[in-house]
Structure 1
Amino acid sequence: MDQAQPRAAFPGAFFTVNYLLLLAVGGYIGRAALLPPDPLGAAVFLIAALAGYAALYLLPAWLLSALCHRWLSPLLARGLAVLLASVTLLLLLVDSQIHELYGFHINGFVWNLLVTPGGIDSMGGGDGTLPTVAAMVLAVVALEAALMALVRRHPGHRRGWRGLLVVLLLCMAGERVAYGLSDLNGYRPVLNAARAVPFYQPATFEGLARDLGYTAPPREQWSVSADGPLKYPLHPLRSASGAPSPNVLFLVAESLRADMLTPEIMPNLWRFAERHGRRYSDHMSGGNGTRMGIFSLFYGLPGNYWFPFRESRRPPVLVSELLRRGYRPGLFTSARFSYPEFDQTVFATVPSPAMVSDDEGPGWQRDRRNVTRLLDFIGADQNRPFFGFMFFESPHARYYFPEESVIRPDYLRELNYATMDVHEDMPGIFNRYINSVHHLDQQLGRVLDRLERDGRLDDTLVVITGDHGEEFMEHGRWGHNSEFHDEQVRVPLVLAGPGVPGGVVATPTSHLDVAPTLLALLGVTNPPTDYAVGLPLDQAPPDRYRLAASWDAVAYLGPRYKVAMPMNAGGLGEMAVAGSSDEPVADRDAVMVRVRDRLVAVLRDMSRFYRH
């Protein structure tokens, strides 16, 4: 009589090795948090947190594989284990690279990038990037398959698992308690280490501590919120009798940092500013990314308002006023209006046929085609004022340009995100960027020459700027959307047209000031406080602070210090503090005392247009 074959044992050793791999990747991500004043305390917390979180990362793969092993087939369970472990490891590896480059983990911004039409395309990337990424995915899957084959005959023993489970539970409970106490007392080494753990979920004990009679050291609470119904504008717009209605033209470039506006790199814009425009030499975007930069430019509001404005499909009063006056809209982008979602915010009420997207081919080719379309639009109807917008893509990574635009021949020929060395290749990458900006200037020159030749500068308000800047590892980051370093938020601004005097303005200005400036030139008599946080550009005082936003933070940019405040976060321990030129500060707490009153004013700015 044949005996039944024994059921294969569940491959516990496979998950043990994967657990160690996840610990190693988590440690690599978290190493940057081991800083003074207490790197040892941060390290102990980080080890405890990663011990528990690595198990949680792996728990779905282990649980599903175990259920499959018990109820279906051991062979199917092994295949499922390899697949799910590969996905888990790949997610953590991707998170490590995102954190290394940008300083944040996979979050709502990254998810939005993945699921929004045009999001992935907006990242650029060399022709070899996708095959390289595919090869890396296959390598991880092959590693996991080989690991499964290796441990198949050594599935591990039940002995010792209970002890390991006890250790894990102690680590998880310990890090919960450590974080809760650190949050109560504002102990920054642990709070900073927690932010380095991927997908960390904080636990706070304020209610329990209060019930137990524990009194935490006094600290101020701040909350930068994006919640609540809007009250915008505070009062309807009013215009002076016979208010002028000049044409309005926005020329906005992706990733255009301020130091690119030189006679060598951008000769056409430099010459135009010298002859016809007003150049603002200390100007900052309202964001370190396209979404918040464009939002602040048109609304004159901080970026925390993006979310409720998008939900309510509320356009800025500037665009509403132009459409109310019967302006002829012509909007052109070398990306998409759906990413970021400007078709749901800034241009929510602009008719769809007036919005033209071109995302086929390299960015420099798109820009050339769109400039031709823009010029045709400008000359199409002389009987109505026009509202024009052009978004240039040439300077977006991977920095597009034709050979005739090369002024830095020593540039990196192929920018492959998957294989490049971010430190060794950066000089060549920066030269790519300079060449792409030079091509941008050539396209701007086509528009500006046409306006000058046709005599349209006397009846056209022209705004030329960048949505945000671009960093090239000057402070340890590349690109944008990661920090509020000057390289990421400082941009050029040139304004020209009727009512705009020439010259150079050195006082600190902001994208939040542009909408109030244009509305005043259009004869709107409301004070800017009715609809904006910014000021008319030429009313900006020299000691003012400015605001910039990212996907999940708002930054105070003062004359001496910068303070970045996470959205919906409480406690000063959550804030990042630096000098105004991004230099480290010796006494963070002393800085917070100095800027306290201004931070209170920032919080008022954050909530002025919510209905309370």
Structure 2
Amino acid sequence: MVEREKQMGRDRVSHLVNWGHWFAFFNGFLAMIVGLRYLENIGYPDSMIGWGYLFLLTVGQFSFLAFIVYLVCLFPITLLLPYSKILRGLAAVLATVGLCILLYDTIIYDDYGLHLSPFVFDLAWANLHALLRGTSYIVTPIGILILELVAANFIWKRINKISKKNLGNKVVAFIGVCFVSSHLIHIWGDAADITEITRFDDAYPLSYPATARSLMESYGIDSRSKNDPKTPRKNSLNYPINPLQCHTENASYGKANVLLIAIDSFRADIADEYSMPFFSQYRNQNQNYSNHLSGGNQFDSGMFSLLYGLQGNYISANDLHYQSPLMTQTFKQQGYHLNLFSGRSLNIQPQAIFDDFTLVPSSNMNGAAEADLNTIKHFKQWQNAQTAPWFALVNLTAPDSYDTPVGFLGIKTVKSDVALKPAQKVLFNQYRQSLNFIDDQLKVLLKKVPSNTLVIITGATGKMLTSNSNEARVNLMPQSVEVPFVIHWPDQKIPSTVPYRTSHYGLAPTLMSQVLGCSNPASDYSAGRTLTQPSKEPWVYVGDNRIFAIYQKDEITVINRHGKYRIFDKNYQSRLNKKMQAQDLIQVMNESQRFHSH
């Protein structure tokens, strides 16, 4: 008798466990339906590869989440309280809470581009009235709860019939194949830089797809695809928000040539009169922006902010793989000849960033410094042949790899003003040598530039003194993003220093208004404002869509794509035990979504 009761108890638990698995599968299916809301923000695939990967990712990810919730929350209760009525009611409530959290996350993601975390929850709570509209936040949970109760009872009454069909193992195998396959496909897509795959990396909550890029890069393999085809697709960005109205007759410097010199790893505090005497003199004779930030700490994000004028979170937007910067588009439309001179690989994100330029590459087989010498030679030859207005982007790369040409004598070594580790001391002086080499090249580059040429000298990024590329990639310290920024205006001899904070976001509005005669407000096409006046925003966004920092007057907040954040003092020396002001962050997040179509 006792043995029979034990067997009945085991059977009851077995039935409840079996029921729980099917209930979890049902909720995984509901979660997939809710998850379609994320795609409204990202956009749907345009190829069979994209659709296939998205299907595998969606089935695998949401089924996995539903099973984890069941395993953590319901399975232990099944063993402790094996009573179907209690368990069905509790499961319906838990499933309702889970789906409501998922729905709320889709709202957060649509507004801020981030998934729920303690940090994002604080942000959302401060802006709750704007996120929750109407009465749907009351009606929806009630409707979900009713659906869950009906589903729980429906499955329980038919669990024996379902069990006899032996579908459970097949369903588990199918979900397992989807989950594993999505990760394997992502490894391939990440290695080959297939944007139809990688653009869904952050789409779903708690999604951490397997990658191959860091492993390949550690072995010196270029992980970017060389032949990713470009095909038009439906726009997901309003860029520009309103059509541009540009007339050169309204411009202060209409038809002026533009020479943009972007130096890799051009750190502001080391580019002084000792390392760069010519540049320091040139800076003092022109308009010097003494408190200037790049839009990122990597070449991609730095150049993106410089040319597009958009925050780095847009860097992976699909539209921009097919749409070049509005600034260079407009230069081209107004008859300018656009050329890009560089010795580095320019296969960067977004893929259309340099589409309006004719590329003149310089081989870097003998080092970056040798490539820079050839870059300047190519530019001088091209410049002498020009008869129409031109826009030249000259990219000098030697400082990024601390390079100088063979036989370069340079300058004497000095002691740094700040304490450095032994390895950093060597890098510090080698970096100074590289800057001194660049200084000599600037003198050659600017010699005999036509008088009607507007010259901009700046850095794509700053420089962290390290040989560890992974460390440099995630470190958003001021030395990594503070860069010199100097403008020589045609026929203007009055030097000046601009003390207020500026950023790369201001270049596009400045050139489009001063040279191209665009009358639109800068907010129509840029996150920045013209450099001729201080920005109204007390913050600057620095970084890309994976990790970024918000630079304010007295603190720096670093945030990753999962919403984890740290706050540092303005010198990045000590971590502050405080929360960021929600109002400032709401402004940042609103800017990060302002150009998205809704």
State if a TM-score over 0.5 links the two structures. Answer: yes
Residue 448 (structure 2) pairs with residue 493 (structure 1) = no
Question: Counterpart in 2 of 1:611?
Answer: 597
Q: Which of 287, 290, 296 in structure 1 is aligned with 2:299?
A: 290
Deviations 1:24-78 (A, max 9, x none): xxxxxxxxxxxxxxxxxxxxxxxxxxxxxxxxxxxxxxxxxxxxxxxxxxxxxxx
Q: CA-to-partner distance for each residue in 1:533-564, whole Å, 9 max, x for gaps?
A: 10111211487211111461222111122112
| Residues 364 and 370, structure 2, Cα contact 8 Å, conserved in 1 | no
- What residue number does 1:414 align with? none
> 1:410, CA displacement in angstroms?
7.8
Equivalent residues in 2 for 1:22-171 (5 A)?
Answer: none
Q: Partner residue of 1:76?
A: none
CA contact (8 A) 1:226 1:305 kept: no
2:510 aligns to what?
A: 517
Deviation at 1:325, TM superposition (A): 0.9
Does residue 547 of structure 1 match 2:552? Answer: no
* Equivalences for residues 16-415 of structure 1 within 5 A: 210=97, 219-221=121-123, 229-240=236-247, 242=249, 243=251, 244-275=254-285, 277-308=286-317, 312-338=321-347, 340-341=348-349, 344-351=351-358, 354-381=359-386, 383-409=387-413
Query: In 1, distance between residues paired with 2:100 and 2:339?
Result: 63
How far does residue 350 in structure 1 lie from its aligned partner after superposition? 3.3
**What is the CA distance between 1:479 and its match in structure 2?**
6.7
Give deviations 1:97-139, integer Å, cap 9, x for gaps: xxxxxxxxxxxxxxxxxxxxxxxxxxxxxxxxxxxxxxxxxxx
Match of 1:434 among 427, 432, 435: 432
Per-residue deviation, 1:229: 1.2
1:545-592, Cα deviation, whole Å (9 max, x unpaired): 11111461222111122112223x34xxx1121122213244323xx2
Counterpart-to-counterpart distance in 2, 1:509 and 1:490 = 10
1:110 alignment counterpart = none
525-534 vs 312-321, which moves further: 312-321
SS at match of 1:538: coil
In 2: Cα distance, 1:301 partner to 1:499 partner = 30
Aligned residue for 1:388, secondary structure, equals strand
CA distance in 2, matches of 1:271, 1:262: 10
1:100 corresponding residue in structure 2 = none
Q: Which amino acid aligns with 2:331?
A: L
Structure-1 separation of matches of 2:393 and 2:318: 20
Kept after mapping to 1: 8 A contact 2:271/2:435 = no
Deviation at 1:272, TM superposition (A): 1.4
**TM-fit CA distance, 1:374:** 0.4
Shift, 1:255, TM fit? 0.6
Give, in whole Å, the separation in 2 of the partners of 1:309 and 1:531: 17
Aligned to 1:446: 444
Quickly say closer, same or farther: Cα 1:445–1:177, change in 2 above 3 A.
Answer: farther
Displacement of 1:212: 11
1:445 and 1:358, CA in 2 relative to 1: closer, same or farther beyond 3 A? same
Cα deviation, residue 423, structure 1: 4.1
Once residues 268 and 212 of structure 1 are traced to their aligned partners in structure 2, the CA distance between those partners, rounded to angstroms, is 63
AA at the equivalent of 1:607 = Q
**Given that residues 364 and 371 in structure 2 are in contact (C-alpha distance below 8 angstroms), is that contact kept between their aligned partners in structure 1?**
yes
Q: Is the 8 A contact 2:267 2:462 kept in 1?
A: yes
Inter-CA distance 211–530: structure 2 relative to 1 (3 Å threshold): closer
Aligned to 2:529: 535
- Report the CA distance between 1:296 and its aligned residue: 0.2
Letter in 2 for 1:445: K
SS of the counterpart of 2:445? helix
Which SS does the other structure have where 1:260 is aligned?
coil
Provide the C-alpha distance between the structure 2 equivalents of 1:394 and 1:278, rounded to a whole number of angstroms: 25
Residue aligned with 1:537, SS: coil
Kindly tell me: are residues 534 and 311 of structure 1, through their superposed partners in 2, closer, same or farther at Cα, counting changes over 3 Å? closer
Structure 1 counterpart of 2:279, which letter? L
**Whole-Å Cα distance in 1 between the matches of residues 329 and 433 of structure 2?**
37
Report the equivalent of 1:563: 557
- Asked if 1 retains the 8 angstrom alpha-carbon contact of 2:548 and 2:559, the reply is yes
Question: C-alpha displacement at 1:398, in angstroms?
Answer: 4.3
For the structure 1 residues 370 and 542, does the alpha-carbon distance in structure 2 shift closer, same or farther, using more than 3 Å as the test? Answer: same
Shift of 1:424: 2.9
Change beyond 3 A, Cα 1:221–1:534: same
Structure 1: state its 5+ residue gaps: 1-172, 179-205, 412-421
Q: CA RMSD in A?
A: 3.5
Task: Give how far 1:430 is off.
Answer: 1.3
499-508 or 228-237: bigger deviation: 499-508
Shift of 1:386: 0.8
Q: Tell me how far apart the structure 2 counterparts of residues 217 and 286 of structure 1 sit (CA, whole Å).
A: 26
1:288-339, Cα deviation, whole Å (9 max, x unpaired): 100000000011111111111576421111100111011112211111222x
Structure-2 separation of matches of 1:530 and 1:274: 33
Contact kept, 8 Å, 1:336 with 1:357, in 2: the verdict is no
Number of residue equivalences: 382
Per the alignment, residue 505 of structure 1 pairs with 498
- State the Cα distance separating 1:393 from its structure 2 match: 1.1
1:448 is displaced (CA, Å) by 1.5
Q: Which runs of 5+ in 2 are unaligned?
A: 1-67, 74-92, 102-116, 125-130, 132-200, 204-234
Once the 2 structures are TM-superposed, how far is the Cα of residue 234 of structure 1 from its aligned partner? Answer: 0.8
Q: Does the 8 A contact of 2:372 with 2:396 survive in 1? A: yes
CA distance in 2, matches of 1:548, 1:316: 19
Q: Classify the secondary structure of the residue corresponding to 1:588.
A: coil
User: Which among 563, 566, 571 is matched to residue 576 of structure 1?
Assistant: 566
Tell me how far apart the structure 1 counterparts of residues 94 and 332 of structure 2 sit (CA, whole Å).
51
Give the TM-score, by structure 2 length: 0.58
Q: Partners of 1:550 and 1:265 in 2: how far apart?
A: 31
In 1: Cα distance, 2:118 partner to 2:523 partner: 37
**Alignment partner of 2:557: what SS?**
strand
8 Å Cα contact 2:241/2:595 also seen in 1: yes
Indicate if the aligned counterparts of 2:259 and 2:391 stay in contact, CA closer than 8 A: yes
TM-score (norm 1): 0.57
The amino acid across from 2:597 in the alignment is R
Aligned partner of 1:460 in structure 2 is 453
Conserved 8 A contact 2:315-2:545? no
Partner Cα separation in structure 1 for residue 100 and residue 391 of structure 2: 62
Tell me if structure 2 keeps the 8 A contact 1:297–1:512.
Answer: yes
Give secondary structure in 1 for the equivalent of 2:288.
strand
**In 2: Cα distance, 1:217 partner to 1:425 partner:** 38
The AA in structure 2 aligned to 1:323 is: K
Q: Indicate conservation of the 8 Å contact 1:337/1:357, yes or no.
A: no
* Contact 1:226-1:307 within 8 A present in 2 as well: no
- Percent same amino acid at aligned positions? 24
Secondary structure, aligned partner of 1:554: strand
Do the aligned residues in 1 keep the contact of 2:122 with 2:582 (CA within 8 Å)? no
Give the counterpart letter for 1:429 in structure 2: L
Structure 1 residues 208 and 468 mapped into 2: Cα distance closer, same or farther (>3 Å)?
Answer: farther
State whether residues 301 and 544 of structure 2, in contact with CA within 8 Å, keep that contact through their aligned partners in structure 1.
yes
Q: Assess if the C-alpha contact under 8 Å between 1:309 and 1:315 holds in 2.
A: no
Distance change in 2, residues 1:435/1:253 (3 Å):
same
What amino acid maps onto 1:534 in structure 2? Answer: G
Contact 1:303-1:549 at 8 Å conserved across structures: yes
